[in-house]
Amino acid sequence: MGQLIHGRNAVLEAARAGRVLKIYQAAGLGHDPRLEELAKLSRVEVVPAARLDAIAPGVNQGVAAELKPRREWTLKQLLDTRPSLLVALDSIMDPQNLGAILRSAEVAGSDGAIVPEHRSAPLSPVAVKASSGAIELLAIARVSGLPSAIVEVKRAGIWCVALDPRGEQYAWDFDFTQPVCVVVGSEGAGVHRLVKERCDARVKLPIAGHVASFNASAAAAAILYEVMRQRAFRSTSS
């Protein structure tokens, strides 16, 4: 059996993206428009709830799906799409945070994400579920090293901006209406020194309380919202 994911939203987004081979659904589920749409998008096998729990242990919401192999993007292929917004993840080791950040990236209209092959949580079923299936909709390039990837992104004419609690300027002072790659680091170490040095700018979010910084996924959502805000303002004022 190929890679499995579970959860109604995650499976639905994967089906919409054309990544599902087969759906397993527990018998006796109540009415849900998501289940009706799944039945139209892919082949559904209704199985006893105990069998589904064996196939997809945990909180599966009565639905699991076997996926087609994920398309492997190279960084060059991603840059050839002429993206206007990318998100790069530096040492995000928690699959829940990884999925949440990629969900925010997709909601914000990101054209893709850059994830290192090492020092990163895998694109596992846990991450897929945390992203509510957004991982299935994003072009994701795996790279051997983020510092060298930042150099390639800059050569493509895209500004690289690190989210850093000690950044030189607030996020709203940077012009996010231009093509940009937002670099998000882990909660502990943040963006690594060499990656920060190769970025064009380091921006911060204001902190009013006593805790030193936001959760990584919350910080990513905040800065991506600022990107959306600036671009929406530009489009309405032009």
- Give me the CATH number covering residue 28: 3.30.1330.30
The string of pLDDT tens digits covering residues 5-40 is 888 988 888 888 888 889 999 998 988 999 999 999
Domain end (from 40, 67, 94): 67
Instruction: Tell me what pLDDT residue 166 has.
Output: 87
Q: What range does the domain containing 222 cover?
A: 75-237
Instruction: Please tell me whether residues 49 and 118 are part of one structural domain.
Output: no
| Contacts of 1 by beta carbon, 8 Å cutoff, 6+ apart | 66
Q: Among 162, 151, 175, 166, which residue's Cα sits nearest to residue 230?
A: 175
- Is 80 exceeded by the pLDDT of residue 129? no
pLDDT interval class at 58 (50, 70, 90): confident
The pTM for the full model equals 0.78
Instruction: Please tell me whether residues 119 and 226 are part of one structural domain.
Output: yes
Give me the number of domains the chain comprises: 2
Instruction: Please tell me whether residues 209 and 134 are part of one structural domain.
Output: yes
Instruction: Please tell me whether residues 45 and 140 are part of one structural domain.
Output: no
Instruction: Flag the least confident range among 8-22, 83-97, 166-180.
Output: 8-22
Instruction: Please tell me whether residues 79 and 172 are part of one structural domain.
Output: yes
- The token duo for 229 is 């805000």
